[in-house]
Amino acid sequence: MKKILVIVGPTASGKSDLAVRLAKKFRGEIISADSRQVYKGLNVGTGKITQKEMRGVPHYMLDIADPKKQFSVSEYKKLAENSLRYIVINSKLPIIVGGTGFYVDAVTGRTGFPDVPPNPALRKKLDKKSAEELFKSLKKKDLRRAKTIDPHNKVRLIRALEIIEAIGKVPRFGNRVSKTRFIYIGLKPDDLDKRIYKRLLKRLPGMISEAKKLHKQGLTWKRMYELGLEYRYLSLYLQDKLTKADMVNKLNTAIRQYAKRQMTWFKRNKQIKWFKSSQYKAIKKYGEKN
């Protein structure tokens, strides 16, 4: 059976650094599973790994989409599977790393995708509602999905409700039939809140510059808001709808809430072996033995 490492965990837990260290050790190549790092130009705000940090290790599924357009999980799945095959053919160890649980489960086959085409009439109707109204509706119809979705992201809320309207529910985990053995490694540092805040302050000047540049290149404030988290609050700040201090406070809270949603998603997968970020030797040993 093919062996694939899968490194998951909340934002700011050190996944990218760990993936590179293991890739250097095991002759691996890395597939990113992050719903916003697929977009070109969204670098500082998403914490995208730099060329220097890659240390010569090939990375896939970064910078493959136009941020002005929506990129679906089904598109991600197709391209990521192509990358997986390429890595295996070249006799390297695939390492999937990311914090977007839906993307991780898409490429590992833990969840299915309904063939639900866009419903323009329904989307137009739902778009008139606020994110709060859409989230309340989703909680009534699918509480489990509501616990893992960004309650402020209208695009994802509308898509979830669109799927429910068509087939009655958002897809659940499926039984994977595969010749692949996935080794799941989870990172969960004890000081996550401190890490999140420290990283936010460190990246803040670069994030502001990046958001200004993206807007000059044609990314609308509306679309920037839709991209969520850092870009949502940067768009409000740059439109003078938030002070800098309010932006930092609200964004810090939003990232911490996002980290909790990530953990809610990952806890459903009992195959994940959890480690602290400092336990590299134990992680390496676990990867070797399994």
What's 49's DSSP letter? P
Asked if 105 and 182 count as a contact pair (C-beta separation under 8 A), the reply is no
pLDDT at 173 > cutoff 60: no
Highest mean pLDDT among 45-59, 109-123, 129-143: 45-59
State the pLDDT confidence band at 175, using cuts at 50, 70 and 90: very low
> Of 243, 141, 245, nearest to 201 (Cα)?
245
Instruction: Give CA separation, 127 vs 31, 63, 135, 225, in Å.
Output: 33, 28, 12, 14
Ramachandran region of residue 223, left (φ > 0), alpha (ψ -120 to 50) or beta?
alpha
Which pLDDT belongs to residue 121?
A: 92
pLDDT digits 0-9 by tens, 59-68:
999 999 999 9
Name residues whose C-beta falls within 8 Å of residue 60's C-beta, 6 or more positions apart in sequence.
Answer: 29, 30, 31, 32, 80, 83, 86, 87
Residues above pLDDT 90, as percent of the chain: 79
Which pLDDT belongs to residue 172?
A: 59
Which pLDDT belongs to residue 161?
A: 92
Which pLDDT belongs to residue 177?
A: 44
* Domains parsed from the chain with CATH numbers: 117-170 (no CATH), 192-258 (1.10.287)
Asked if 170 and 160 count as a contact pair (C-beta separation under 8 A), the reply is yes
Q: What pairs with residue 183 in β-bridges?
A: 5
Which pLDDT belongs to residue 170?
A: 63
pLDDT digits 0-9 by tens, 207-218:
999 999 999 999
Specify the pTM: 0.86
State the pLDDT confidence band at 57, using cuts at 50, 70 and 90: very high
Annotated binding residues for ATP, as ranges?
A: 9-16
Mean pLDDT of 190-194: 95
pLDDT at 18 > cutoff 60: yes
Annotated binding residues, as ranges?
A: 9-16
Mean pLDDT of 145-156: 86
Report the mean per-residue pLDDT for the chain.
93
Annotated binding residues for substrate, as ranges?
A: 11-16
State the pLDDT confidence band at 113, using cuts at 50, 70 and 90: low
